[in-house]
Structure 1
């Protein structure tokens, strides 16, 4: 089903328009722009950047320079847990000097090409979408495709450029986004519907590049305060000889088993800790017996009732956070006096709400979520381990 989205101009809207920005060194974010994009992401509003880059046609820089600038912007956005769902740019100009790019283009704003491409890739209904930019060409694009324009008065418009008096004008992107969110009634805590992949790839190399960027964005959404809480929970549990249990289904079961290895053998190596770590996902005989006699939803709860003691810790790994056996295990853990750590993705489900420490990865791709969970499992193990190694030996220790 088509949905509303936001098409953003780049120069003068997200970054300063200092004239043909074709290198990373010249990128300067406008105040509040990163936070504004993060707000759209958090509200589940797709974000596409549609930008004219005539500097390619005019010979100021090349296509790879534009892509490098966009990769740099992506990296900076990821540090704030933000992202652009789709980058589109037009390198053509009829007055260009570079062969192959010196021509008119349907994609060059106010032409509609990039807007239609964004609508197809992100499943947007342009009639209920917005175009936000600082130039008359941005307003023209909105008019061409029936979208709603918002003009940013950045001062970058050329002298004499007319601004349609019927268009809402705001001082910056943050104000524009506030208008968008108030109009949609979007909830900031909704799962962003970014989706990956958004189209079929013909190159494994390009897929790998974009997948790694998607993983970086997902990791950047993890709440570091919750990660700190989880690390402290594990470290204190190991210090007082409490047991740590882990469980998950499918790919998450392999992470639970891997946790037993790295938090058991790994954390113990070179430290004074004698960790007791047990994966509830590893014993197929016990699991199948419980599932056969009582139901699969009880496979972790039944084991906890036999093995756990007050003060122990349960770590659950669940991409959806909705698996009945995970939820039942967490409810059992709380009843038995255990602390709980949940690694979740998608919207987090009940597991996200039940956890004492919630490590939530904001992504709707199972592979990305599981990779991010594996990273979090590893970094928790290594953090705990280095906490118990003499400071002068940390740098010489292989982790």
Structure 2
């Protein structure tokens, strides 16, 4: 039996964007996050974080520091009876200074590798799933994986390099608005007319 999921970018989507932050004391949930996640969890969506963490490759912090970040996120959500079902991160960047992480990879968004891995490990139907992020690299990763996508238009996307693969299905202000769109949408992506008999 396949599950459905909402894949969540971390910085600027789920929590306030503090560049390269791994200090648990500086982690704060974004406006609308609790209300949105409650709605999604009530409809049996798995809630899975998908995040680029190039600070590892750049030598700003060790990969082990991300464990404390994951724990802090769950600490903030648990009082609201919200459970994260996964925390997937890419520690790589081709311009990194730590040799073992300074590589081109398939897991750094806009590549869809983390979504594919989560889908395989958790038996997720990507056609019933969504990705929510605050930049177009998130959107591209979601679309490439076969998900519907929502862009939180909060000013973090500055380049606006729009192509069909980077065009969000919806644009909203926060996670609460995103959840409302998801719950009022068809269960899965419709089959394109060109593929119908």
Shorter-chain TM-score bucket reads 0.7 to 0.9
1:152 is displaced (CA, Å) by: 0.6
Question: In the alignment, what sits opposite 2:180?
Answer: 178
Query: Whose RCO is larger (CA < 8 A, sep 6+)?
Result: 2
1:4 is displaced (CA, Å) by: 2.1
> How do residues 174-213 of structure 1 correspond to structure 2 at under 5 angstroms?
174-183=176-185
Higher helix share: 1
Question: In the alignment, what sits opposite 1:390?
Answer: none
In structure 2, C-alpha distance between the alignment counterparts of 1:121 and 1:166, rounded to whole Å? 26
Report whether the alignment pairs 1:76 with 2:112.
no
**Equivalent position SS for 2:184:** helix
Report whether the alignment pairs 1:120 with 2:115.
no
Q: Does structure 2 retain, via aligned residues, the 8 Å contact 1:37–1:83?
A: no
1:35 is displaced (CA, Å) by: 2.6
In structure 2, C-alpha distance between the alignment counterparts of 1:116 and 1:170, rounded to whole Å? 25
Stretches of structure 1 that go unaligned for 5 or more consecutive residues are 186-399
In structure 1, C-alpha distance between the alignment counterparts of 2:3 and 2:128, rounded to whole Å? 8
Stretches of structure 2 that go unaligned for 5 or more consecutive residues are 188-197
**Equivalent position SS for 1:46:** strand
1:165 is displaced (CA, Å) by: 5.0
**Equivalent position SS for 1:63:** coil
Q: Does structure 2 retain, via aligned residues, the 8 Å contact 1:151–1:168?
A: yes
Q: Does structure 2 retain, via aligned residues, the 8 Å contact 1:56–1:92?
A: yes
In structure 1, C-alpha distance between the alignment counterparts of 2:31 and 2:73, rounded to whole Å? 14
CA-atom RMSD in angstroms: 1.6
> How do residues 1-399 of structure 1 correspond to structure 2 at under 5 angstroms?
1-157=1-157, 159-163=158-162, 164=166, 167-183=169-185
1:43 is displaced (CA, Å) by: 1.8
Q: Does structure 1 retain, via aligned residues, the 8 Å contact 2:149–2:168?
A: no
Q: Does structure 1 retain, via aligned residues, the 8 Å contact 2:150–2:168?
A: no
Q: Does structure 2 retain, via aligned residues, the 8 Å contact 1:38–1:83?
A: no
Larger Rg: 1
In structure 2, C-alpha distance between the alignment counterparts of 1:142 and 1:72, rounded to whole Å? 25
In structure 2, C-alpha distance between the alignment counterparts of 1:146 and 1:184, rounded to whole Å? 15
In structure 1, C-alpha distance between the alignment counterparts of 2:140 and 2:174, rounded to whole Å? 19
In structure 2, C-alpha distance between the alignment counterparts of 1:84 and 1:64, rounded to whole Å? 19
1:73 is displaced (CA, Å) by: 0.7
Distance change (3 Å), C-alpha of 1:165 and 1:136: closer
In structure 2, C-alpha distance between the alignment counterparts of 1:135 and 1:104, rounded to whole Å? 20
Distance change (3 Å), C-alpha of 1:28 and 1:92: same
1:166 is displaced (CA, Å) by: 5.6
User: Taking structure 2 as the reference length, what is the TM-score of the superposition?
Assistant: 0.87
In structure 2, C-alpha distance between the alignment counterparts of 1:42 and 1:174, rounded to whole Å? 13
In structure 1, C-alpha distance between the alignment counterparts of 2:147 and 2:66, rounded to whole Å? 26
Q: Does structure 1 retain, via aligned residues, the 8 Å contact 2:151–2:168?
A: no
Q: How many residues matched?
A: 184
